[in-house]
Structure 1
Amino acid sequence: MDSLNDNEGGLVEALKELNDLKIAFDQHAIVSIADADGLIICCNDLFCQMTQYSREELLGQTHHILNSGYHSDAFFQELWKDISSGKVWRGEICNRAKNGELYWVEATIVPFLGNDGKPVKYIAIRTDITQRRLAESRIYQLAWHDSLTGLLNREFLFKELAKTIDDSPGSHEYGALILLDIDHFKDINDLMGHDLGDKLLRQVGQRLQSLAHGNEVVSRFGGDEFMILVTELGSDSQSALDQAVNLAEQIRLALGATFYINGLQIHCTCSIGLVVFDDANNNKTELVKHADMALYRAKEQGRNRVSVFDKQLQNQVLNRSILRQDLQQALRNKEFYVHYQVVVDKTLSPRGFEALVRWQHPTRGTLGPADFICLAEENGLIIPLGQWVLETACKQLVEWSKDSSTASLLLSVNVSAMQFADSRFVTSVRRILQRTGVNPSLLRLELTESVFLSDVEKNILKMNEIKELGVQVALDDFGTGYSSLQYLKRLPLDLLKLDSSFVRGLPENSEDVAITTTIIALAHSLGLRVVAEGVETEAQFNHLVELGCDLFQGYWLGRPLSVQNAVVFNPTSL
């Protein structure tokens, strides 16, 4: 009897332990049990809470009631194949609750086998991992997407490019890289604010995404640069090139259409470089470099265009790179010198000169500013080079002051936007004036309109500081940039230089005549004199005199010459 009582007590204790385990299990795990046909025959409260279905709605149903559509049919076929053969299945499943919300579970499905070795029941034990998956999704978004535009980022594009290259050996399948940036985006940022610039970048991203058809990876490369990886262009090189160029042109036209932001109409263009590749040229670093070379050429050719990389371009870039390296040594090796181009009045009397720098390259001969000024701006050499030209010009003025025939000549020196923006610019001008002892009223600094694209008020103050030194200030290439009459009347200028593009069509082109007439009248109304650049014919000179232009400069009057030849000006030879 005692033994029977002990057995009963042990049974009660065991049942209690099982019940406690069940309670604890139900608090943590999402459990359902299905019969051999997959019909739900039992489920706990957490399963009902997670699925949003009542127990009555679930019993007798298969788990298909929770199908989210995320997984393929093959996924479930493989799962069923495993458990129906008696194997335990473990994995992650995305389900859909009754209210339509998706949720993720980590599931273990255990088949219970009958005497014949076949499953008679399946118990599925699940853990909710929705928050973990969301966190992983957010991490993925941060890791592979651009936070501003939502586009994929450069790291993802590089990963996809590497994958494309690795998958392509022997396939002879062509792809393309398209690299673009927004022309003069910095000006948009400076003039209209970074908030508007950011909104423009988002809309650019949206337009690029709308042109993708499935075999493109659209990414923001950084700043205002975007890159598109295009795959599956076929095995014919010409067809692949045609497809890539066609897409690039679609992009160019799409980004050239008006943007509407904050009630404003924003007009911009883009420059595009592209390179086509196959398994024969599969170095991803080189491919990106080639796309960048093509983009640079598109900018050099006037922007708002598509440029395709080729071997000739590679040679040009290589030469440019060598020239950039040579430029580093040129100032130290005293390879620069200055030529002087005469500026005359309407009687053809010399009134001054413009100092124009030249580079006597040791192997390439004489190079003009167009060959190296952009390079000097890229590597920062423009500041010491500009200072050297300015000091050379001041020393020349001092020399001219010793001769009564040249003592009253003015000398103009070009100042780049980067040089003017340097915080030490005014100080450097002051020191050069003091060091050389030049009469500052005979020195004229020529600024381009691009100087006034950003921080206009600060630049006006800087111009006034220059004027206080006694130096004259001119606005170069007037009419080709971003002149605003609102600012023009406030600028402490002495002179406007009429750009040669308006002089070229005189006197035949009626539009050039109208523009030139207006600019001269405007300048005179502001108390400014006008120098016409690019005077190449007597007819142009005579017409400009009739329009009231004050001073004249161009090849018809005199080419840039050494100082010895420049001062020997003979108007009777014209």
Structure 2
Amino acid sequence: MIARLLKKTPEADTTSSAPASLSSHAINTPENTGSGSLLQPYADSIVASLNVGLIVIDEALLVLSVNDCVCKILGLDHANPMAGQHLRTLLPALESPQVLHPFLSGKTGKRYLSIPHEKSQLRITLTDIVGDHAQQHALITVEDITEEHRLREETLANAAHYRNQASLLDKASDAIIVIGINHHISYWNKAAEKLYGWTCDEALGNSPENLLWDDEAAFNEVTRLTIENGEWRGEISQRHKDGTPFVVESQRTLVRDENKRPKSILIINTDITERKATEEKIRHLALYDSLTRLPNRTLFMDRLRQAISNASRYQRRLAILFLDLNRFKEINDTQGHDVGDQVLIQVAQRFEATLRGEKTLARLGGDEFIVVTEVEDQVAAAMIAERLQQTLLAPLRLGNDHFSVGVSIGLSFYPEDGDNADDLMKCADIAMYKAKTTGAGYIAYQAKMSADLNEQMHIARNLNQAMNADKLELYYQPKINLKTGEIDGAEALLRWNDAERGWISPAQFIPIAEARGMMAQLGLWVLEQACRQICTWQAAGYHFHGRLAINLSAQQLSDPELADKILQTVLNAGLSPACIELELTESSLMHNVAQSIDIMQSLKKMGFALSIDDFGTGYSSLSYLKCFPVDTLKIDISFIRDMLNEHHDHTIVTTIIGMARNLGLKAIAEGVETLEQASSLLKLDCDHAQGYYFGRPEPAQIFAAQWLRCSSGIA
């Protein structure tokens, strides 16, 4: 043990050379003082109880003595004697000259070194001591500093980690703020400086309620909820340093200390000003009409449901007014969509100026508008409808042009006509349709209207089935040359004998087919059947003189490929366009004048003859007549019926015939029922006539028997 150093040691071997580092100052020993025998027992006891490892080595680095603590630190066996072993046997880390030599060659009395040993970290200290006869020894203390080393490394790593975190937080795009429970700001990153305008020095130690909030109560409430729930997230209104308000999305997390007590609040705030503006724009686009800025169908239905809920709660009455513009399509088609859009904008502005109070006006789409309002009774609703009609009495002015439009209005009422939005809308729509077809201006819904609508739907369904099953028929009515009295062509007319209802007039089912978009399919079916019939007559040896007239609808004229489809149908039947005349009404031509002209020019070049049907009843067709490449004007039956009794009708007939003559066109009168009418038309130089006086429409076999074998003149 180290106590042996206190005894007199043998004389050193003069042949050994001590390291230069061991040449140190001599120390006094008990032997020198004469009291060694008294101190020896105490020295051994003291050394044994130390929790520091002690090793005594000689000048050759051989171990002279160790205490028990060294064995414990180094994990050595107490029973295994270590005296006489080289120091590196105990501490292999000292084997390297790069470690050991600097350690031993120090100029001071003590040298310190931290070395690894197996899984531990040791601190060793070297102290030079000199015994008797200047014998040189050294005392090495060994301490296990593994935990200390770990804590130091962990502290250094944490410090680096915190530095990295702080750097990352400063690079974050969101404002990151930490406030204590005392409401003082303890952290404020670069993004917070940018977002709020306050520097870090200005913010630290200050209260966010003073810097950022206008509403102290709102700040206290958010803080309370964060502490109670451990977190809070939501949108809050805050202000910039210059006072500018803006909205942030805030996420707050409560931080607790080691005793689980609230310590601080971590706040991450994101500026959502642009996002809110974008959301508002999207919301506006989703709920408002982009053209008129009125609520659209989605927003209107929501407001209607709210109005119904309030009316139910307070036992009030609602009126729904469904508005559809009259003559708007003609303006839109003839003047273009840009002009049509400006018309809709002006109409919406007039409607808005007319309506007052708790009324919601919306645009459903196209030229349809709708209103919901509280009313006392139907009379009050009727007065609103009349004001809406009157606001459109004055023509709309666009530049130097003036346009006249009207409006058809259908009314439904809560709770009489329904207790939900869909039923009330449906009833108002039905009433509007009735008002438009009857020209009544505005009409309140009646239950019978739904029955009529159901009837129309049933007819439409049966008509579609009949067409697909070839259950429709074509009848043929002759066209007569008034000068020769002979047949000069015929018109194919659609007839329908329904299995349930019997014969249904074209005047009933054609408008239904038009309303439901069936005319394109129906028109093609008629053309195919007519071509097939001509081929059948030819195969039977009948000679058909002139052209067979087929009617084209407005829906067919909306198809830019119509001319090619008609030509292909005729050619597929093995016929020539010279066999067919196509009749178009004035109103159908006016839906899209430019496209109508293009289609007519194409048909004319293909060899088809063209006729304007019901001439004189359309809208503004005279201004476009010079542009239509037609062959014949067909005078409407409404003028022929009373031409012998009404001076104005006779004048119109005379004018149309003269116009046709001056334009190099032929004129044909429809609806001729008497000899007097036929004779008058002949005197007016009308070319052809068609009507019951000459022959009614007949099935193909009867028509062929009557007209394709003989001719009939005027009796």
Cα displacement (A) at 1:424: 4.0
The more displaced of 281-290 and 293-302 is 293-302
Q: Tell me which residue corresponds to 2:469.
A: 333
Q: Tell me which residue corresponds to 1:37.
A: none
The answer to whether residue 387 in structure 2 is matched with residue 208 in structure 1 is no
The answer to whether residue 391 in structure 2 is matched with residue 254 in structure 1 is yes
Q: Distance in 2 between matches of 1:341 and 1:16?
A: 97
Structure 1 residue corresponding to 2:631, chosen from 494, 501, 510: 494
The answer to whether residue 384 in structure 2 is matched with residue 241 in structure 1 is no
* Contact 1:169–1:279 (8 Å) recurs in 2: no
Question: What is the aligned residue count?
Answer: 478
* Contact 2:321–2:428 (8 Å) recurs in 1: yes
Q: Tell me which residue corresponds to 1:73.
A: none
Any idea what SS the aligned residue of 1:167 has? helix
The answer to whether residue 530 in structure 2 is matched with residue 530 in structure 1 is no
Q: Distance in 1 between matches of 2:379 and 2:473?
A: 47
Cα deviation per residue 1:291-342 (whole Å; 9 max; x = unaligned)? 111122222224x721221110000111112222222311222210011122
Cα deviation per residue 1:381-400 (whole Å; 9 max; x = unaligned)? 42332222112222333344
Q: Distance in 1 between matches of 2:658 and 2:206?
A: 89
The more displaced of 327-336 and 130-139 is 130-139
Q: Distance in 1 between matches of 2:407 and 2:205?
A: 61
Q: Tell me which residue corresponds to 1:323.
A: 459
Cα displacement (A) at 1:407: 3.0
Q: Identify if the C-alpha distance between structure 1 residues 459 and 133 changes in structure 2 by more than 3 Å, giving closer, same or farther.
A: closer
The more displaced of 528-537 and 394-403 is 394-403
The answer to whether residue 449 in structure 2 is matched with residue 313 in structure 1 is yes
Amino acid at match of 1:313: M
Q: Tell me which residue corresponds to 1:57.
A: none
Consecutive unaligned residues in structure 2, runs of 5 or more: 1-183, 187-198, 219-234, 249-270
Q: Distance in 2 between matches of 1:278 and 1:349?
A: 65
* Contact 1:536–1:556 (8 Å) recurs in 2: yes
Q: Identify if the C-alpha distance between structure 1 residues 563 and 268 changes in structure 2 by more than 3 Å, giving closer, same or farther.
A: same
Cα displacement (A) at 1:445: 1.1
Q: Tell me which residue corresponds to 2:44.
A: none
Q: Give 1:356-505 correspondences, 5 Å limit.
A: 356-401=493-538, 406-453=543-590, 456-482=593-619, 484-485=621-622, 487-505=624-642
Any idea what SS the aligned residue of 2:311 has? coil
* Contact 1:171–1:279 (8 Å) recurs in 2: no
Amino acid at match of 1:422: D
Q: Distance in 1 between matches of 2:637 and 2:498?
A: 28
Q: Distance in 2 between matches of 1:394 and 1:138?
A: 57
Q: Distance in 2 between matches of 1:16 and 1:357?
A: 87
The answer to whether residue 684 in structure 2 is matched with residue 547 in structure 1 is yes
Q: Distance in 2 between matches of 1:212 and 1:336?
A: 50
The answer to whether residue 326 in structure 2 is matched with residue 183 in structure 1 is yes
Q: Identify if the C-alpha distance between structure 1 residues 132 and 440 changes in structure 2 by more than 3 Å, giving closer, same or farther.
A: closer
Q: Give 1:514-525 correspondences, 5 Å limit.
A: 514-525=651-662
* Contact 2:479–2:490 (8 Å) recurs in 1: yes
Q: Distance in 1 between matches of 2:496 and 2:473?
A: 6
Any idea what SS the aligned residue of 2:643 has? coil
Cα displacement (A) at 1:217: 0.8
Amino acid at match of 2:657: I
The answer to whether residue 498 in structure 2 is matched with residue 355 in structure 1 is no
Any idea what SS the aligned residue of 1:489 has? helix
The more displaced of 137-146 and 321-330 is 137-146
Q: Identify if the C-alpha distance between structure 1 residues 27 and 267 changes in structure 2 by more than 3 Å, giving closer, same or farther.
A: farther
Q: Tell me which residue corresponds to 1:24.
A: 203
Q: Tell me which residue corresponds to 2:480.
A: 344
Q: Identify if the C-alpha distance between structure 1 residues 412 and 26 changes in structure 2 by more than 3 Å, giving closer, same or farther.
A: farther
The answer to whether residue 350 in structure 2 is matched with residue 224 in structure 1 is no
Q: Distance in 1 between matches of 2:347 and 2:206?
A: 51
* Contact 2:567–2:577 (8 Å) recurs in 1: no
What TM-score, normalized by structure 1, do the two folds share?
0.73
Q: Distance in 2 between matches of 1:572 and 1:346?
A: 8
Q: Distance in 1 between matches of 2:206 and 2:686?
A: 93
Cα displacement (A) at 1:228: 0.2
Q: Distance in 1 between matches of 2:244 and 2:697?
A: 76
Any idea what SS the aligned residue of 2:468 has? coil
Amino acid at match of 2:326: D
* Contact 2:417–2:424 (8 Å) recurs in 1: no
Cα displacement (A) at 1:376: 3.0
Q: Tell me which residue corresponds to 1:113.
A: none
The more displaced of 309-318 and 436-445 is 436-445
Q: Distance in 1 between matches of 2:677 and 2:702?
A: 25
Any idea what SS the aligned residue of 1:558 has? coil
* Contact 2:552–2:583 (8 Å) recurs in 1: yes
* Contact 1:273–1:294 (8 Å) recurs in 2: yes
Cα deviation per residue 1:423-455 (whole Å; 9 max; x = unaligned)? 443333333333333354232111222443365
Q: Distance in 2 between matches of 1:350 and 1:28?
A: 103
Any idea what SS the aligned residue of 2:673 has? coil
Q: Distance in 2 between matches of 1:508 and 1:244?
A: 44
Cα deviation per residue 1:215-254 (whole Å; 9 max; x = unaligned)? 31111111211100011x23xxxxx222212211221221
Q: Give 1:16-165 correspondences, 5 Å limit.
A: 23-24=202-203, 141-165=284-308
Amino acid at match of 2:331: I
Q: Identify if the C-alpha distance between structure 1 residues 511 and 131 changes in structure 2 by more than 3 Å, giving closer, same or farther.
A: same
Cα displacement (A) at 1:533: 1.5
Q: Distance in 2 between matches of 1:102 and 1:561?
A: 84
Amino acid at match of 1:225: E
Amino acid at match of 1:160: R
Structure 1 residue corresponding to 2:702, chosen from 555, 565, 568: 565
Q: Distance in 2 between matches of 1:137 and 1:265?
A: 37
Q: Identify if the C-alpha distance between structure 1 residues 28 and 271 changes in structure 2 by more than 3 Å, giving closer, same or farther.
A: farther
Larger RCO: Structure 1 or Structure 2 (Cα < 8 Å, ≥ 6 residues apart)? 1
Q: Distance in 1 between matches of 2:185 and 2:355?
A: 63
Q: Identify if the C-alpha distance between structure 1 residues 130 and 331 changes in structure 2 by more than 3 Å, giving closer, same or farther.
A: closer
Cα displacement (A) at 1:573: 9.8
The more displaced of 246-255 and 561-570 is 561-570
* Contact 1:172–1:278 (8 Å) recurs in 2: no
Q: Tell me which residue corresponds to 2:428.
A: 291
Q: Identify if the C-alpha distance between structure 1 residues 198 and 533 changes in structure 2 by more than 3 Å, giving closer, same or farther.
A: same
Q: Distance in 2 between matches of 1:330 and 1:489?
A: 40
Q: Distance in 2 between matches of 1:422 and 1:130?
A: 48
Cα deviation per residue 1:356-409 (whole Å; 9 max; x = unaligned)? 011221201112322222333454442332222112222333344468874314
Q: Identify if the C-alpha distance between structure 1 residues 339 and 170 changes in structure 2 by more than 3 Å, giving closer, same or farther.
A: same
Q: Identify if the C-alpha distance between structure 1 residues 412 and 160 changes in structure 2 by more than 3 Å, giving closer, same or farther.
A: same
Cα displacement (A) at 1:129: 11
Q: Identify if the C-alpha distance between structure 1 residues 490 and 157 changes in structure 2 by more than 3 Å, giving closer, same or farther.
A: closer
Consecutive unaligned residues in structure 1, runs of 5 or more: 1-14, 32-43, 51-62, 64-77, 80-90, 95-100, 107-127, 235-239
Cα deviation per residue 1:490-534 (whole Å; 9 max; x = unaligned)? 433221111122223312322222222221111111211111112
Cα displacement (A) at 1:351: 2.1
* Contact 2:417–2:423 (8 Å) recurs in 1: no
Cα displacement (A) at 1:145: 2.7
Q: Tell me which residue corresponds to 2:251.
A: none
- List 4+ stretches of structure 1 deviating above 6 A: 25-30, 91-94, 101-106, 128-137, 402-405
Q: Identify if the C-alpha distance between structure 1 residues 293 and 486 changes in structure 2 by more than 3 Å, giving closer, same or farther.
A: closer
Q: Identify if the C-alpha distance between structure 1 residues 573 and 276 changes in structure 2 by more than 3 Å, giving closer, same or farther.
A: farther
Identity %: 34
Higher alpha-carbon Rg: 2
